[in-house]
Structure 1
């Protein structure tokens, strides 16, 4: 039987730490105040999970694996928090799209899109939170109300007009 179908893993198998959202080399780790709060909350959750595993896991091999996974996540998270550069969206130019801006884009056809430019760890495209490193965020940077933002999508080249910046 293939090892892929076995529940038990060998103690010698390496622990794979899931990667955090990518941040291009040499790019500052900009975060909103909310983004930094979320990172710190995630750290608190991992600390609680660490304590829980130490208290409840009876199998020493499994406890060691779980703690190694948690410790790896904590290390990556500490690195992100240390490198975070908090940008206050309220201090950005109010009439120009910058980091932290909530933007309303109007396509030629269809409903308006609401997008907010945030840090890579706070990004959640399904909820309109896009990383400042995303192509759409880069295309919007510096635009003002009335400007056109050209975007390459799966449908081809589309143009959106900036109708609001908050």
Structure 2
């Protein structure tokens, strides 16, 4: 089984969602099914069918999260000997050489990536270019609109 990298924060977020699904959502759905059954004929009972659909979705999500956690290689960047290099979990501030635009990204696993929140997948072109580099290094990222050159301004391991 291939281990998938996951940050400590990402693992904690998945565990919190799993706990919510198991301790809050699942009992609520079971109660809704029980209540709907009391209304009689299940063939034409829309409440019952809706509750069963919710149950199916919740159980699927529980299985998905449990699978992700069991296949995760949880990496704590604060305990990594990065030696001043960009590594998985690091937060990197970069500047586009042409435009001077500065952006900050944290390099995370695919399941955690969210460009809106400044988290990019370790498999993305930018992250692949940054891994192993140091402050003041320049990297060239092959983008759909052409190559973009970035300079690394700072690296944080938080």
- On whether the aligned pair clears a TM of 0.5, the verdict is yes
* Distance (Å, rounded) in 2 between the aligned partners of 1:40 and 1:84: 12
Superposed, 1:11-160 pairs within 5 Å as 28-47=3-22, 48-57=24-33, 58=36, 59-90=47-78, 91-108=80-97, 109-160=99-150
Q: Cα RMSD (Å) of the superposition?
A: 1.6
Aligned length: 141
Are 2:120 and 2:127, in contact at CA under 8 Å, matched by a contact in 1? yes
* Distance (Å, rounded) in 1 between the aligned partners of 2:85 and 2:48: 56
Q: What is the TM-score when the length of structure 1 is the normalising length?
A: 0.78
Q: What is the TM-score when the length of structure 2 is the normalising length?
A: 0.82
Per the alignment, residue 43 of structure 2 pairs with none
Q: Which moved more, 1:151-160 or 1:65-74?
A: 151-160
Q: Deviations over 1:75-96 (max 9, x none)?
A: 1110001111111102141410
* Distance (Å, rounded) in 2 between the aligned partners of 1:92 and 1:118: 17
| Bigger proportion of residues as helix | 2
Name the CA shift for 1:27/1:103 in 2 (closer, same or farther; >3 Å).
farther
* Distance (Å, rounded) in 2 between the aligned partners of 1:103 and 1:34: 17
SS at match of 1:133: coil
Q: Deviations over 1:115-144 (max 9, x none)?
A: 111122221111111111222111111111
Q: Deviations over 1:8-57 (max 9, x none)?
A: xxxxxxxxxxxxxxxxxx75311111111001011122222121122235
SS at match of 1:96: coil
